[in-house]
Amino acid sequence: MKKISCILFLSIFFGAAFAQQHKTENVIIVTLDGLRWEEVYRGADSALINSKYTDGSKEVMKRFWSPSAEDRRKTLMPFFWSEIVSKGQFYGDRDLGSKDEVANPYHFSYPGYNEIFTGFPDVRMNTNDPI
């Protein structure tokens, strides 16, 4: 019984010691204001490319279109998909059921950032004006 108690104590002691060595040193939060989730996760949108408001739609289609959403998104945002995604966590791909949206009633920049950093909506944050 003493051996089991000793082994249990040592495993808990050393387990806790090793667990403390791997603390996160930095947290980097990147937000992209005004970017549609569809472009991030699906790439170029043919409805926008072929819109009457898009100049040079044939060139845009040639440069950014592919039948595969994965290829389109990598073409549209190459650094994001080659470097950033491999080193972080990403939320908001609604095609995979990751619906990430704010709870505040305003749906614009400053109230959203406030919500990100505090963890809850605050109706007093209702403007983008400097404080």
> Residue 32 has what pLDDT?
83
Domain edges within the chain: 27-100
Mean pLDDT taken over the chain: 86
Mean pLDDT, to the nearest integer, of 13-21?
58
pLDDT at 16 over 60: no
Mean pLDDT, to the nearest integer, of 103-125?
94
Position 29 confidence tier, pLDDT thresholds 50, 70, 90: confident
Position 43 confidence tier, pLDDT thresholds 50, 70, 90: very high
Which string of DSSP letters, residue by residue, matches the chain?
Answer: -HHHHHHHHHHHHHHHHHHTT-----------TT--HHHHHH-S-HHHHTSTT-TTHHHHHHHH--S-HHHHHHHHSHHIIIIIGGGS-----GGGT------SSS-SHHHHHHHHHHSS--TT----S--
> Residue 76 has what pLDDT?
96
Mean pLDDT, to the nearest integer, of 22-46?
88
Give pTM, 2 decimals. 0.69
> Residue 9 has what pLDDT?
53
